[in-house]
Structure 1
Amino acid sequence: MTSSTNEWALDLSKVTKRFGATVALDNASFRVRRGAVHALLGENGAGKSTTVKLLSGLMQPDAGSISIMGRNVSMRGPKDAHRAGVQTAFQEMTLVRDLTVAQNLLMAYEPTGWFGRIKKRESQRQAAEWLDRLELGDIRPGAYIRDLALPVRQKIEIAKALVRQPEVLLLDEPTSALSGRDVAWLARRIEEMKARGVTFVFITHRMQEVREFCDSLTVYRNGRDVGAFDTAAISDDEVIRLVIGRSMDAKYPPKVATPAALQTPAMEARGIKVDGVVNDFDLTLKAGEVHGIAALQGMGQREIFEALFGAEFIDEGQILIDGKPVTLTSTADSLKAGVSTSFLPEDRKTEGLFLRLPGGENVSLPVIKRFSRFGLIDRKREQAAIKRALAQMEVNPRAVYKPCLSFSGGNQQKIAMAKWLLTQSRVWLMFDPTRGIDVGTKHQIFVLMRAFAAAGGSVLFYSTDVPELVNVCDRVSVVYRGRNVAELAGEALTEENVMRKMLSS
């Protein structure tokens, strides 16, 4: 189809970007029509985030050209991108934790008076006005970012880009931390902006969202564009084949039932109360099972996982391991031989990894004492164990010595999981482990979870994606206001039943 240059809001042509020996983008091209919502798809490390950074002015291409609204541009920094009409809502949020919502929302655009002094009262007024306009009126402009839950911070990140009224808006995994209601909120914002002629680049790993939001899509693989299509013209299976370079027999691994005789309680919670958020919570996690937790945002699920790992004190109740009460005064207690519990948190960058340390050091850190004798670390034995764990997660061997921040989000999650593989824990607490990662890596994590359960391990799995819970778990507990209000298994474990219990409890 031939079309005029002015028809394209974005046009990247034969763009290359290298980081040392690593080629992040290799002669990649993609373009987006004005006023369209265009999905950019690919596995973690395919080049999507590098493309977003190029369009945001955070880095420059080594070769190729970028055109915005028909004009060739050379962006040397974020201000150049802003002047070109481009704003970005990043997956790994750019909010400053120790500043308020208002300060983050209007950063670099706050009203000023004499000598450049910020008019704080006017900033508060403008922020409150914008929050109301964006259906976020329940968020206080004076609240500190550090005190807000992750889904709320994600909405503030998106709102910050909307406040600047862009011509082109880049949404990098905008729904990765959002609940169903929050996704509906985002859908309304996209419709509003699209009606005004705003163009979107929408990066996601969820095909349901591509179908719901996007008019067209481009697939990246290994830094190259491998196909561009109208969304209606390609099937999900074909997209997955393009993304991972092969067909996938099944999105979810089969559930293999563990014999009833082996299903002894590995971990139990009895009448747990935590800080007024968790109330009389009961749970029995059996050996050989993947047990799901389904809950709407803010129902105490995070506090439950942290209490079971010793990261949150319980006010009342008991935690039992193999039928024996245990007292968890810290996370270190969870790693002891008699407890042997691992926790994969929702925010890998701030809670799961030390980003500036090499992947190898992150992997061995929880069990570094295993490799030390008389205060000296046996590096040869440590390195061999690290390499085995990384190989099991299919992480590039350079992760042994490369800082975690140099890897994509999906590979960072794999490094975080490799850390717990090395601990050889008996119980895995996995809090939204597939947030913001590609379909191939998700499948790999699901296979690992089922294999761990088949070997006699126990997995407690929370996900914001109900289909994941239904298709991966043996049982699902629905949590409402810190209580286990329903348990579903067998034929009763359906998406409809889980959603009904979540909404009607």
Structure 2
Amino acid sequence: MIVEMNQISKAFNGNQVLNGVSFTLEKGEIHALMGENGAGKSTLMKILTGIYPRDSGDIMVKGKNVSYTHPKDAEEDGITVIHQELNILPELTVAENLFLGNEQTVWKTGWLKTNEMNRLAEQQLADLGLRVKATERAGNLSVGKQQIIEIAKALMTEADVIIMDEPTAALTDREIDTLFEVVRGLQKKGVTFVYISHRMEEIFALCQRITVLRDGNYVATKVIKETDFDEIVRLMVGRELGGRFPDYDLQPGEVKLAVKGISREGEFENVTFEVRAGEIFGIAGLMGAGRSEVVESLFGYRGIDSGSMELDGRPVSFKKPIDAIEKGIGFVSEDRKSKGLIVDFSIRDNISLTNLNAVSTSGMMQRTKEQQLYETLVTKLGVRTSGPHQQAKSLSGGNQQKVVIAKWLGIKPKVLILDEPTRGVDVGAKKEIYTIMNELAKQGVAIIMVSSELPEVIGLSSRVGVMFEGKMLTILHRDQLSEEAIMHEATGGEKHVRQ
């Protein structure tokens, strides 16, 4: 065993988050670590890498007892981690982020080898399928491209053990395939991986063993070839979950939002589609195809250079998000922690932010109204919380996402745009969010969903617009949907549109 963790326990402020958990890694394996949000996966890995001290238990690495007090200690022993939360410094260049803390310098002088680092940065990223200039400001890149930079930085350490916490959450299928090729190549060289993900398809495609945690307790370790999706779900949630997606029984009605030939220079061109009341319209495509840019423009985050939109048959133009909100359009962004929530605010305050008119009188906040709105929405969406004053940052990923959705339900939206609605959310919470989306559609809300998870797109959507290089050239109806059909169009297949 390259790593042995025995009877690890950890509590925060009296809250027991790990209770006697054991976990082992064999050299050269890819080992999945799974569990619902809050099960203790990330905490266990943070203890292994010296971010948190353990309360009790033992850790053996390469046969020696260790007790790291800083991640640098773990790195020196060959253990590195790719965290779920991005650690990119947006004002630095791509190369500066990659070499931060490991800069190459001219011997004795301290002068940076800038050109050499730029060259190596571009080479490393190209190996992962990302071609960007090393001198590009990192903050200018999309979330997905920033995630690839984080992955590249970890791979450059030449570690013996690499911990990957939701590494593909912001990646497209093509980028995931490239990453898997790199991981398998390193595995053949003896590198060991801990792979934390909520995506079952990835786990069963990549890993050899899987360990499941639930509520801070060790549940089981299974050989991938000897288990299946349903068993792992039962182990994770402690109950039968049923089908992954709600039964499709939507009945789309009248056109709610019509998008006609909108363009934005350098991002998307001549995009046309309609979304109807009571339907879920999916938008698929590879990273860089313009999916997020299009929906952000619908909401007023970005401007459009040409084209038009109609809401309920009437022309509309949104210069900024407040214009869209006032017309009954809500937007769940792909990055909930920087654009969807103020994480240091309470749950109640986050919900109130988009509903100030409903919770105030003559410009004065009314706590009674605010509390009523909070209770109504938290109950409706099943948010698990200790109370209205709980900070958003202390919630699990699934419950954070429910709060983001809740704040938009308060405006009683005509159109709800969801960009990657289940990113970083566990399998149980995903099912709950799918059910919420389906119920909203049944109530007549027109839903636009951008997702990189093809099973999600296929399982929920009435129709899917597939984007390729900034253009929506194809709209597939439900009876045409398959992963093969979507990927064919997303990579530049037949260029036709059937509304």
Q: Assess same fold via TM > 0.5.
A: yes
Deviation at 1:85, TM superposition (A): 1.2
Q: What is the identity, as a one-letter code, of the residue corresponding to 1:279?
A: E
In structure 1, what is the equivalent of residue 396 of structure 2? 408
In structure 2, what is the equivalent of residue 292 of structure 1? 282
Q: 1:490 to 1:128 in 2, by over 3 A?
A: closer
Counterpart secondary structure, 2:399: helix
Cα contact 2:128–2:182 (8 A) shared by 1: no
In structure 2, what is the equivalent of residue 378 of structure 1? 366
Segments of structure 2 that go 5 or more residues without pairing to the other structure are: none
Aligned partners of 1:361 and 1:476: how far apart in 2? 35
Which of 77, 98, 102 matches 1:105? 98
Counterpart secondary structure, 2:423: coil
Which of 216, 224, 232 matches 2:209? 216
Tell whether 2:223 aligns with 1:233. Answer: no
Cα contact 2:211–2:221 (8 A) shared by 1: yes
Cα contact 1:37–1:200 (8 A) shared by 2: yes
Q: 1:409 to 1:21 in 2, by over 3 A?
A: same
Which of 130, 135, 138 matches 1:142? 135
Which of 111, 117, 121 matches 1:127? 121
TM value normalised by structure 1: 0.93
Deviation at 1:383, TM superposition (A): 2.0
Deviation at 1:44, TM superposition (A): 1.0
Cα contact 2:299–2:324 (8 A) shared by 1: yes
In structure 2, what is the equivalent of residue 14 of structure 1? 7
Task: Report the identity percentage.
Answer: 34
Q: What is the identity, as a one-letter code, of the residue corresponding to 1:307?
A: S
Q: 1:264 to 1:381 in 2, by over 3 A?
A: same
Aligned partners of 1:104 and 1:196: how far apart in 2? 26
Cα deviation code 1:286-335 (max 9, x no counterpart): 00111111212111111110111111111111111100001211101111
Deviation at 1:136, TM superposition (A): 4.8
Aligned partners of 1:57 and 1:170: how far apart in 2? 13
Cα contact 1:86–1:168 (8 A) shared by 2: yes
Tell whether 2:351 aligns with 1:358. Answer: no
Tell whether 2:391 aligns with 1:398. Answer: no
Deviation at 1:490, TM superposition (A): 3.7
Aligned partners of 1:294 and 1:126: how far apart in 2? 33
Deviation at 1:359, TM superposition (A): 2.3
Cα contact 1:386–1:422 (8 A) shared by 2: no
Give matches, 1:61-460, under 5 Å. 61-113=54-106, 114=108, 116=110, 118-132=112-126, 134-136=127-129, 138-258=131-251, 263-336=253-326, 339-398=327-386, 400-460=388-448
Counterpart secondary structure, 2:23: strand
In structure 1, what is the equivalent of residue 458 of structure 2? 470
Q: 1:27 to 1:394 in 2, by over 3 A?
A: farther
Q: 1:327 to 1:127 in 2, by over 3 A?
A: closer
Counterpart secondary structure, 2:33: strand
Aligned partners of 2:233 and 2:58: how far apart in 1? 28
Cα contact 1:358–1:399 (8 A) shared by 2: no
Q: What is the identity, as a one-letter code, of the residue corresponding to 1:309?
A: F
Q: What is the identity, as a one-letter code, of the residue corresponding to 2:324?
A: S
Cα contact 1:293–1:461 (8 A) shared by 2: yes
Q: 1:359 to 1:116 in 2, by over 3 A?
A: farther
Q: What is the identity, as a one-letter code, of the residue corresponding to 2:354?
A: P
TM value normalised by structure 2: 0.95
Cα contact 1:178–1:464 (8 A) shared by 2: yes
Deviation at 1:246, TM superposition (A): 0.6
In structure 2, what is the equivalent of residue 4 of structure 1? none
Cα contact 1:391–1:397 (8 A) shared by 2: no
Cα contact 1:179–1:464 (8 A) shared by 2: yes
In structure 2, what is the equivalent of residue 461 of structure 1? 449
Q: 1:56 to 1:359 in 2, by over 3 A?
A: farther
Aligned partners of 1:126 and 1:470: how far apart in 2? 39
Counterpart secondary structure, 2:2: strand
Counterpart secondary structure, 1:400: coil
Q: What is the identity, as a one-letter code, of the residue corresponding to 1:376?
A: M
Counterpart secondary structure, 2:256: strand
Aligned partners of 2:74 and 2:387: how far apart in 1? 32
Cα contact 1:293–1:476 (8 A) shared by 2: yes
Aligned partners of 1:354 and 1:492: how far apart in 2? 40
Aligned partners of 2:113 and 2:387: how far apart in 1? 47
Cα contact 1:89–1:157 (8 A) shared by 2: yes
Aligned partners of 1:85 and 1:455: how far apart in 2? 53
Q: 1:251 to 1:320 in 2, by over 3 A?
A: same
Deviation at 1:64, TM superposition (A): 1.7
Cα contact 1:299–1:482 (8 A) shared by 2: yes
